[in-house]
Structure 1
Amino acid sequence: MNIVIVDDDQLVALSLQTILEADDNIHVSATGCSGSEAVRLYNKYSPDVLLMDIRMEDMNGLEASEIIIAAHPDARILLLTTFSDDEYIIKALSLGAKGYILKQNFECIAPAVNAVYNGQTVFGEEIIGKLPDLLGHSESHSTDVERSPFADTQYEISSKEMDIIRLVADGLNNKEIASRLFLSEGTVRNYISSILDKLCLRDRTQLACFFYKNLKH
């Protein structure tokens, strides 16, 4: 797995590289120190996961994420910050970032990178507790998040699909959902693909946002 690390503190970037390369499955292709470098390095190396700080001068991590995801919709970006800032969390979700964790949780970084690489969406424990409230009221909290296009429509969602959507929103991966609902992982993947197509959503992050904005009561 090839990783690019971008952090405006070179010591932090090197520390992150040391932590990640202790995992035999991870190779750090390059490090950078700004959002503009993140864009350049992503285009050059096409990393499996981009691990990037949010608060940087020149161009911050959210701005860089927006540019990268617009050009590479399948980009896996894991955002790091020392701040559990509500506005940043909402913006990261709306952009389609695959994770948002606090930088100081060093022991969680390598597992989070592996999870994002394997198609999961990852949030630190401090952030998970905020998601229902943030996503349920995001329109009033931030002008950066557009009102859901589904807010005034009816959804043709079966009870089984609803169960799967709820478990995705709770952060479970396909294996865990399959175990919970007594299904095969392949069946869960097919359900999720069908749900995303039906609701015109891009990924699991958007599906979680959709659940909290429109379906959670």
Structure 2
Amino acid sequence: MKIIIVDDDCLVAGALKTILEANPDIEVTATGSDGEEACSLYREYLPDILLMDIRMKGMDGLEASRKILGEFPEAKILLLTTFSDDEYIVKALRLGTKGYLLKQDHTSILPALQAVYSGQTVFGTEIISKIPELLQSSDGFDYASRNISERELDIIRLIANGYSNKEIATELFLSEGTVRNYLSSILDKLQLRDRTQVAVFYYQHK
């Protein structure tokens, strides 16, 4: 797993590099200190995951995420910050980043990277509890108008509750391949990019 670390505190970046490279499956290919560097390093190395701070001088992590995901829609970005700021959480979700963790919860960083690498979206426990409230809207949504079937709506709800494709398959007695096909159909019908945006869409239109 190839990782790029971007943090404006060089001591933090160095410590993360040392911790992560203790795992033989992880290679930190580069480190940077701001959003501009994150963009250029991502283009140069095309890492499996970009682990990036949010608050940085110049271009912050959210703006860098927006630019990188605009150029590389499949990019896996895991945001790491000391601030559990509601506005940041909402922006991170809407951008389509793969996770948002607090630096204080350092023991969760390696498992989070492994989960993101396998295709999951991860958020720290403190942050997960906030998501429904932050994203919920009073406006209802007519899913039938987008040709979303009842089965697809079941899958949307499970995605919004943090289920992986494997867990959805078990819950609905489907194969993982069938779940992936349903997810592709949902993304197309709702004009969304990934499962994170599906969850955001669901809570915004609940």
TM-score tier after normalising by the smaller chain length = over 0.9
Alignment map for 1:1-217 (pairs within 5 Å): 1-137=1-137, 154-214=145-205, 216=206
List per-residue Cα deviations over 1:146-191 (Å, max 9, x = no partner): xx9x957734222211111111001111111111112111111111
**Distance in 2 between residues matched to 1:121 and 1:128, nearest whole Å:** 11
Number of equivalences = 205
**Distance in 2 between residues matched to 1:151 and 1:39, nearest whole Å:** 36
Structure 1 residue ranges (4+ consecutive) displaced by more than 4 angstroms after TM superposition: 150-153
1:144 is aligned to: none
SS at match of 1:40: helix
Q: How far did residue 9 of structure 1 move? A: 0.9
SS at match of 1:73: coil
**Distance in 1 between residues matched to 2:81 and 2:40, nearest whole Å:** 21
List per-residue Cα deviations over 1:126-145 (Å, max 9, x = no partner): 111011011114x9xxxxxx
- Give percent identity, aligned residues only: 64
Q: How far did residue 81 of structure 1 move? A: 0.6
2:191 partner amino acid: C
- The answer for unaligned runs of 5 or more in structure 2 is none
Q: How far did residue 57 of structure 1 move? A: 0.6
Of the structure 1 ranges 44-53 and 64-73, higher mean CA displacement relative to structure 2 is found in: 64-73
**Distance in 1 between residues matched to 2:27 and 2:169, nearest whole Å:** 31
SS at match of 1:19: helix
**Distance in 1 between residues matched to 2:131 and 2:186, nearest whole Å:** 21
TM-score calculated relative to the size of structure 2: 0.94
1:142 is aligned to: none
**Distance in 1 between residues matched to 2:44 and 2:91, nearest whole Å:** 26
1:210 partner amino acid: F
